[in-house]
Structure formats: C-alpha cells, structure tokens
Amino acid sequence: MSPPANPAPHAAGATPRLRLLQSELPPVQALRAELAAGLVAPQAAIPPKYFYDDLGSRLFAAITALPEYTPTRTEAQIFARHAGDIAGAVGTATTFIDLGAGDCGKAARLFGALRPRQYVAVDISVDFLRTALQCLQREHPDLDILGIGQDFARGLALPGAVGDRRRLFFYPGSSIGNFAPDEAIVFLHRLRACGGADAQLLIGVDLIKDEAVLNAAYDDPLGVTAAFNRNVLRHVNRVLGTDFDVAQWKHVAFYDAAQTRIEMHLEASCDVTVRWPGGVRRFARGERIHTENSYKYRPETFAELLRAAGWNPAHIWLDERAWFALVHCRG
Ligand code: AVJ
C-alpha cells in the first residue's frame, strides 16, 4: 500500500498553536565565567540551576516519585483536597505563568478547575520543556500555550506575546527554597513588579519539620538524589570543559537547623585536581563543593517574607501534618 499523496491537513502539524521562545539565555561565555568563579572560590560552589540538564530534569522527576521526598506528594495532596477553594480564590481566565514548569504536570492538573486564558511555561531546560509542551498541546488543542526558555532567577522578562491581563504567577514545589530569604524577597518583589495591578501569586513552600524526615528526603536510600547531585558535574564538564570524574565525588546532604535549610554538597573522596580551559582547582580529600541550599519555613515567617516583597497573602492551605504550605497572594 502506498502512502496517501495528501495527508490530512491536521496530521502534519499536530501542535499548530505551540510557540516556544528562547529568550534571554545567557551566552555560554557568561555561564563559563560564573562556573569558573564558583570553582576557584575558597568554598567552591556550583549554582543549583546546573542540576537541570536533560538527564538532571529526569532525575528530579524521579526524586519527586520517591516515598522519602515529601514536598511534591504533600503539595499534590493540598491541591487535590482544596481544589475547589483554590479555584474559587484564583478565578478563571487567568494568564497562567508557570515558573520552572518542568514536565508541566502540576499546572495541567489545575487546568480543569482554573480554565486559564493562556498558559505560559517558563523553564531553563528548553529541550525538556519542548517535549512536555508538545505533549500538553495534544491534550489541550484549544489552549493558547507559550513556552519560554529562560533562567528567570535574576528577574523574569516576559515577551509581548504574554497576556497582560489577570496574570497569575504559579511557583509551586518550594523552588523558592533555593533562594536565601533576602534573595527570595528581591525575586518576589520583581515578580510583583511584572504582574500589574491585578496580579496573583500561587506559591508552594516546604515547612520546617522533623529533622529525620528532612534528611531522608535529601539522602534517599536508592541514591536518586545522590545521582541528581553528582550529575551536575557532567553538566559542568560539558559547559566549562572541566574534567570532573563523577566517581570521585560523594553526595552529602544534611539539615542545618540554625539556618533552617538543607545543604547539599559534593565531597572529594580522594585528592582531586580539576582542570578546564584557563583554570585549575585542587581539592583535598574530604573537601566539598556546595551545590544547593533548600530553605524551610514556618508559615508565619513565610507570610512575612511575602508581605516584605509587596504581596498580600490572602489564603494559606496546609496538609494535616503541616509539612507543606500553599499560599495564594494578591498584589
Ligand atoms: C526543586 C529546589 C524544590 O529543594 O527540594 C530535590 C530540588 N534537591 N532534591 C528541593 C532538590 C534535592 C528541590 N527544588
């Protein structure tokens, strides 16, 4: 049988409305300078955004499926239990701006209740985002979907194609925890400024809880979080041209109660010399590279932080163990 000469008109473009813009991605020179500066610092550090290459995004998705990793599951319970209240507070026909959309699953589960006018998915991992949005557009053929490949940590730049009415910023998953509290205020304040008069924010935050629960969430027995942490070195090898040998680095994660944060590090298991074009760093056995902070909050402290950033927390939903909070704010 020969293929049809004229395929059905809709067959070729299964995702006709989908637009993906790659704006404001920093030039590779800037990324290299940032990475090199972090590696030569007395306390070496790699920014957590480098976790999210294609494999890293998949490993993070696997983390969220671990029984020990409580934030995603607990937040999902809150969404499921309070869906009606959330929809009542937020309303429909919003310009739904998903910050760090990942696989877009969390947002998609709200579409039925929230009926957004436009869905804008922003993520640093462009290839991962493209695949997710192609899938999503097939499931929601009539939804206006816009993808934006952007590192929004230092400020969000929304192109003209983004609707300016009823902007709802969706920042779930406790991603805000990667910022120190003072940086979080700066970030949320900038977000407020790009929202307009009728802006809203729906934000999830992981709460302070039993230390054993927190530690297990970031050092799981399967070693998925360890793989996620160590994979950052492969990403850095590709971007900066370093010669990290992943096998020489151990995953370290612990809760620091004084700073109310999880810290993740990579620890050299032997003396290591790392070289890259234009640089070198020697690490003694036991020396660490700081890869992530994940701040935890008390609900009242987080509400104060939101107010300091110019937002009015109007509703807060908790799970029954008070492990996670979802906060709805108006501008
Ligand atoms: C995506 C920043 C919310 O801090 O819990 C998960 C990243 N790191 N396991 C978090 C992460 C290790 C995650 N955030």
Residues 6+ apart with CB under 8 A from 205: 174, 176, 177, 297, 302, 324, 325, 327
Q: In what order do the strands lie in the sheet with 312-318?
A: 19-21, 144-149, 118-123, 95-99, 167-171, 200-206, 324-330, 312-318
Is the C-beta atom of 125 inside 6 A of ligand 1?
Answer: no
| Percentage with pLDDT > 70 across the chain | 94
pLDDT category at 125 given cuts 50, 70, 90 is: confident
Q: Which amino acid is at 299?
A: P
AA identity, residue 11: A
Q: What is the pLDDT of residues 36-88, one digit of tens each?
A: 999 999 999 999 999 999 899 999 999 999 999 999 999 999 999 999 999 99
CB 316 within 8 A of CB 325: yes
* Residue nearest atom 14 of ligand 1, based on CA coordinates: 175
Residue type, 37: A
Q: What is the pLDDT of residue 75?
A: 98
pTM equals 0.92
Compute the distance between CA of residue 37 and CA of residue 118 in angstroms, rounded to an integer. Answer: 39
Q: Look at the block and give the residue holding tokens 């952007």.
A: 150
For tokens 């940086």, the residue is 183
Confidence band of 24 (pLDDT split at 50, 70, 90)? low
Q: Is the CB of 229 under 6 A from ligand 1?
A: no
What's the pLDDT at 11? Answer: 38
Q: How far is the CA of 86 from the centre of ligand 1 (A)?
A: 24
d(CA 120, ligand 1 centre) in Å: 22
Q: Does the CB atom of residue 118 touch ligand 1 within 6 A? A: no
- Residue 152: DSSP 8-state: G
In which residue are the tokens 């929809």 written?
87
Can you tell me the distance from the alpha carbon of 275 to that of 271, in angstroms, rounded to the nearest whole number?
13
111 Cα to the center of ligand 1, angstroms = 24
Mean pLDDT of 299-326: 98
CA angle 190/191/196 to nearest 5° reads 105
Give the number of the atom of ligand 1 that is nearest the alpha carbon of residue 294: 4
Q: Whose CA is nearest to atom 2 of ligand 1?
A: 175
* Type of residue found at 41: A
pLDDT tens by residue, 163-174: 999 999 999 999
Residues listed for the chain: 331
Helix axis angle, 299-308 to 181-193, nearest 10°: 50
Residue 234 burial (C-beta neighbours within 10 Å; 0-12, 13-18, 19+)? middle
Structure confidence at residue 17 (pLDDT): 76
